[in-house]
């Protein structure tokens, strides 16, 4: 049980975390801060936070648990702003989709308090954002990846793991580089491909006409192209090296399939599609129980 | 009201059509034929068809409505086999995802009976196939594209339109080339990309590990990669020219995004993602009411 959660960034991710902790009775009080005072006030009105703080530092002061749920590019400035509010028993976490860059920002921003920070990436979200869409169950049954480094306090990693487990999430621990490579492959690249796909469609004169004929396959395949442009700009730039490597590998696989089509090599084409189909059919969400910590 | 539906191919698509016609009381009797006698028998046991025919020709004889729901590559042989069972009041349709090649197969196979054939593509399906998954509502609320050509009997186009409307589908009419271009863009290319994406993943040593971390974005984006390899091999080959054109356009859009990432051009990258996000957010399934016929 924590005395006080200091929530920096009262949006979908942060608000859902606060609601989940409250529901699980893991926190007594939530003090929130958002860059926009009207957002903070709205979060208070909705009961997501109990107290609206006028600054990030004041939200952190007296909090034994701090969650940064701000755009990844705002990380370093936010860490700097809260550094002096961190005490010996404070656990600081984030919710960013990329970890290498946030850890770098934390090193620079938190400096001698860096050991208190446990990098966290809950694999959850919605196509909509904002405090209005926050819900206590957003993280239930979802994976949360923790990427502690050498300097991270072991006791804080343990506490972080307990909190996420306590709100129903499955905790996985890995190295930051490993995380960023894996998420380039299973999340960032699919988003890049979905954006490119829609851009290629709408660049064609008949694009609108094509879109009117699209069915359920299109709907699911392209859903992630509706993601937030600022957030995805930041993710793709923060993890660009890994994403570009994955994109290259993808283009190679695409050219291989194109070559089989051009050659009308039915057997090899079927073989290649069958490999993909088999792997995708075998895939199950949340089957990594042995990896859970 | 039709006297008799001759169903060639008792699978998901054909079986669902038979069930839908029965539910809407648009047909008195369904005579079915599948290449495998056990499938035909199963369809009869499930009540999808009333009578099991020992050949395609016998299923068609005496039927005023015929639906070919066979793999696209089997079209020409099937048309040939049923040609002599077609009478002056028979309406023949198919359910293929590509139209140019099926029309060609019908010309060759049906010869002087070609005018009876109304090419149809219902935009519906499931990741699973087989008669066991057939359901009367598969086509409800879905689009069906009819692609008649000059030689097609106008009266049959009208009857075809009425049947599909009668089972709750939205009928759209267009030229075969227009159809094949549009579906290369909104269906065949996404499948090709999803297959290539999974292939690129599993070709990596850490592929399995990556897959265990995949979340809901991956789930939806890659769902269509689980499609039937034989069917998609045939679709991609049948429509390969259009699909290859769309794939080229896609690769250009992908390289454009990659270039913005490499240059760390945050503004242009956001702009490009925003265009895709806006278009995808604005997209609504089944909003083409003005196109319905």
- Whether A82 shows a pLDDT value over 50: the answer reads yes
The nearest CA of chain B is from the CA of A15 a distance in Å of 20
Residue B179: CA atoms inside 13 Å, Cβ hemisphere, count? 26
> Is pLDDT at A289 greater than 90 in this prediction?
no
Beta strands B120-122 and B143-146 are antiparallel
* A215-254 residues touching B, CB cutoff 8 A: 215-230, 232-233, 236-237, 240, 243-244, 246-247, 249-254
Asked if residue B127 has pLDDT above 80, the reply is no
What does the block give as tokens for B179?
A: 């159809």
pLDDT in tens, A92-122: 999 999 999 999 999 999 999 999 999 999 9
DSSP class of B169 = P
Nearest to A221 among B190, B272, B288 (CB): B190
Per the CB < 8 A criterion, the answer to whether B240 and A264 are in contact is yes
Domains in chain A, ordered, with CATH?
Answer: 2-174 (3.40.50.720), 179-282 (1.10.3660.10)
B224: Cβ contacts below 8 Å, ≥ 6 apart: A217, A220, A221, B127, B190, B191, B194
Q: Which residue has the higher pLDDT, B1 or A186?
A: A186
pLDDT in tens, A201-257: 999 999 999 999 998 899 999 999 999 999 999 999 999 999 999 999 999 999 999
- Convert the pLDDT of each residue in A27-52 to its tens digit: 999 999 999 999 999 999 999 999 99
Shortest alpha-carbon distance between residue A76 and chain B (Å): 18
**What pLDDT score does A286 carry?**
57
Q: Could you report the per-residue pLDDT of B93-110, keeping only the tens digit for each? A: 999 999 999 999 999 999
Here the tokens at position A244 are 């570009």
pLDDT score recorded for residue B92: 98
Q: Which residue has the higher pLDDT, B285 or A68?
A: A68
Average pLDDT, chain B: 94
Q: What is the mean pLDDT of residues A60-70?
A: 97
More confident residue, B106 or B127: B106
Asked if A240's CB is within 8 angstroms of B210's CB, the reply is no
The span from the CA of A92 to the CA of A6, in Å, is 9
Taking a contact as any Cβ pair under 8 Å apart, which residues of chain A between 250 and 279 contact chain B?
250-254, 256-258, 261-262, 264, 266, 269-270, 272-277, 279
Q: Mean per-residue pLDDT for B12-40?
A: 97
Cα(B291)–Cα(B293) distance, integer angstroms: 6
Q: What's the rounded mean pLDDT across residues A135-150?
A: 96
Among all residues of chain A, which has the CA nearest to that of B125? A216
Tens digits of residue pLDDT in B187-197: 999 999 999 99
Residue B70, pLDDT above cutoff 90 = yes
* 126-185 in chain B: CB under 8 A from chain A: 142-143, 145, 172, 181-183, 185
Q: Which of A43, A116, A52 is nearest to A79 (CA)?
A: A116
Residues of A within 8 A of B226 (CB-CB) are: 277, 280-281
Segment A3-29, tens digit of pLDDT: 999 999 999 999 999 999 999 999 999
Does position A180 have pLDDT exceeding 70, yes or no? Answer: yes
Tell me how far apart the alpha carbons of residues B2 and B92 are, in angstroms, rounded to a whole number: 13
pLDDT for residue A293: 30
């Amino acid at each position: 049980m924590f005395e006080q959660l200091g929530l920096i960034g009262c949006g979908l991710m942060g608000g859902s975390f606060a609601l989940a902790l409250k529901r699980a009775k893991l926190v007594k009080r939530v003090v929130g801060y958002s860059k926009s005072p009207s957002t903070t006030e709205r979060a208070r009105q909705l009961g997501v936070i109990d107290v609206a703080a006028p600054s990030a530092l004041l939200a952190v002061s007296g909090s034994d648990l701090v969650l940064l749920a701000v755009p990844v590019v705002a990380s370093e400035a936010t860490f700097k702003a809260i550094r002096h509010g961190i005490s010996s028993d404070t656990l600081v976490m984030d919710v960013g989709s990329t970890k290498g860059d946030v850890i770098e920002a934390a090193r620079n921003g938190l400096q001698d308090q860096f050991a208190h920070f446990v990098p966290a990436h809950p694999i959850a979200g919605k196509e909509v954002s904002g405090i209005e869409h926050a819900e206590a169950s957003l993280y239930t049954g979802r994976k949360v990846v923790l990427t502690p480094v050498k300097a991270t306090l072991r006791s804080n990693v343990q506490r972080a793991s307990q909190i996420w487990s306590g709100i129903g999430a499955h905790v996985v621990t890995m190295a930051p580089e490993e995380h960023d490579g894996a998420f380039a492959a299973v999340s960032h690249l699919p988003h890049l491909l979905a954006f490119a796909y829609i851009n290629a469609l709408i660049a064609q004169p008949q694009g609108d006409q094509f879109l009117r004929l699209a069915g359920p396959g299109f709907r699911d395949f392209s859903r992630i192209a509706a993601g937030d442009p600022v957030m995805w700009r930041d993710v793709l730039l923060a993890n660009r090296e890994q994403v570009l490597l994955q994109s290259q590998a993808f283009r190679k696989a695409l050219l291989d399939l194109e070559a089989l089509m051009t050659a009308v090599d039915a057997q090899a084409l079927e073989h290649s599609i069958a490999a993909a189909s088999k792997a995708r059919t075998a895939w199950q969400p949340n089957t990594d129980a042995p990896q859970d910590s």
